[in-house]
Amino acid sequence: MNNLKLAWRNLWRNRRRTLITSASIFFAVFFALLMRSLQLGSYDHMYKNAIESYTGYLQVQHKDFWDEKIVDNTFPYEPELEQQILKDANVEAAIPRFESFALASNGPQTKGVLVMGVDPEKEKYLSGVLDRMVKYHLSPEAIKKIKLDAGIPDKVKELLSLFENSAYTNAGRLQLDLGISDQEAPGLMPDIERYCRFDNGRIQMGEPGVWVGHKLSQYLKLGRGDTIVLISQGYHGSTAAGKYEIKGIVKLPLPDIDNKIIYLPLDICQTLFNADGNLTSLALAVKDNRDKAISGTLERIQGLIPGDQKVMEWREMNDVMVSQMEADNKSGMIMLGILYLVIAFGVFGTVLMLTAERRREFGVLVAIGMQKKKLASIMTLEMFLIGLLGILAGALVASVLILYGVDHPLIFKGEMAKMFEDYGFEPKMAFWPIDTYYIWQMVIVGIMVLIAIGYPLRKIFRLKVVNALKA
């Protein structure tokens, strides 16, 4: 106890030295936690975008469909089986889908597209496509009108050209991209919204009509009310062809999907491919999406379905993305390792400075009779307290920023947002909530401090009093 009191008092005999040493540990913990939280949060955000926009967490499919995605590898829709699946405690809804590929055409413009037959009412449990309908569109005509408005600031007019033909599902994102502050919004946004408002329609079961991805509509030069032609191969080699009116435009968070997707009412899509009553998949919306819960649900559902069908979980259906994320995670760990290396040198440097400054003090203490063992134990306690102060302070400040960032992710705007979208990413970086990674970052920094303690201890036990007194 006496050693602890002496160590605590020694810390504050030279506050500046203590604060410098603690600061090096503080920044080590702070940057390590912040970097890891952003990395894990961004991965989770990308996973959710891919899963919730397209595949879902679980799907019932024909056993051969995933390896050979043709219309022949479909299965009949059985309401009785769906009701059995819905009895599972972790299944919230079963969403029937019919998925295939086709050639979409508008005059000379053609493109291979993903045709998704959906029940619009049930899709709200999974992809939430109704919430992704375009509400605002910065068309050249809309931009021209906005620029003629004398009340619009020049800085906004400059950004309009950068985001020409961009589409938005909410006014908040439009405001952000145009660099309009919350204070300016009440005076500017109503006029801008009026100029670029986009009226969308809905598709309904039994009524021919399609929703088209925003980027696909730009490529094919199509808008609401235009006609799109779809040509493909139907069930058992039959010809699938049809003309449909575009009822609306959707914007999905995954640009790769947004660039090729067309939504049809499920029954109309089945008719197009001559596969009435068949499905390519029955996607399941789950209540608990943790890996353990997903595995348990998969095993239970597998026991209900016929032998020619199987249940697939999201990792199998997104194996390329999972592999890419794991590779990126490894590179992120390397970057974190480099950060730790830099931090370790910083911590060691401050300990080196601290030891050099106190060399004469150590010599005096040993000369008047203090045992080197006792001096070493006090020094160890001092470094432990300095390390504890730095680690706790770093974790506390990082926690405040991370907890704020969980509810307020980093959303890029302007040219940075445009760059993200050009590379196929949503211009957004999310934070991961406080989890076990917190403990590991603090433990690693703590180990660095313990290793650094070895230097002053070595100097104390090898101390030559005469030389130390001359320092």
The per-residue pLDDT for 265 is: 93
Same domain for 432 and 410: yes
Same domain for 366 and 311: no
Mean pLDDT of all residues in 199-210: 89
What phi and psi, each to the nearest 5 degrees, are found at residue 339?
-60, -45
122, pLDDT greater than 70: yes
Same domain for 292 and 403: no
Mean pLDDT of all residues in 445-453: 81
Same domain for 420 and 357: yes
Same domain for 428 and 302: no
Q: Which residue has the higher pLDDT, 28 or 229?
A: 229
Same domain for 62 and 44: no
Residue that finishes a domain, picked among 295, 315, 335: 315
Same domain for 351 and 281: no
The per-residue pLDDT for 163 is: 83
86, pLDDT greater than 80: yes
Tell me the pLDDT tens digit for each residue of 159-194.
888 888 888 888 888 888 888 888 888 888 888 888
Residue that finishes a domain, picked among 270, 299, 315: 315
Same domain for 445 and 414: yes
Considering the chain, what is the average pLDDT of its residues? 83
Beta strand 261-265 pairing with 109-118? parallel
Same domain for 333 and 192: no
Q: Which residue has the higher pLDDT, 247 or 56?
A: 247
Same domain for 88 and 36: no
Same domain for 297 and 239: yes
Q: How many domains is the chain partitioned into structurally?
A: 2
Percent of the chain with pLDDT over 90: 15
Domain range enclosing 249: 57-315
Residue that finishes a domain, picked among 315, 348, 374: 315
Q: Which residue has the higher pLDDT, 9 or 94?
A: 94
Q: Which residue has the higher pLDDT, 97 or 28?
A: 97
471, pLDDT greater than 70: no
Same domain for 132 and 15: no
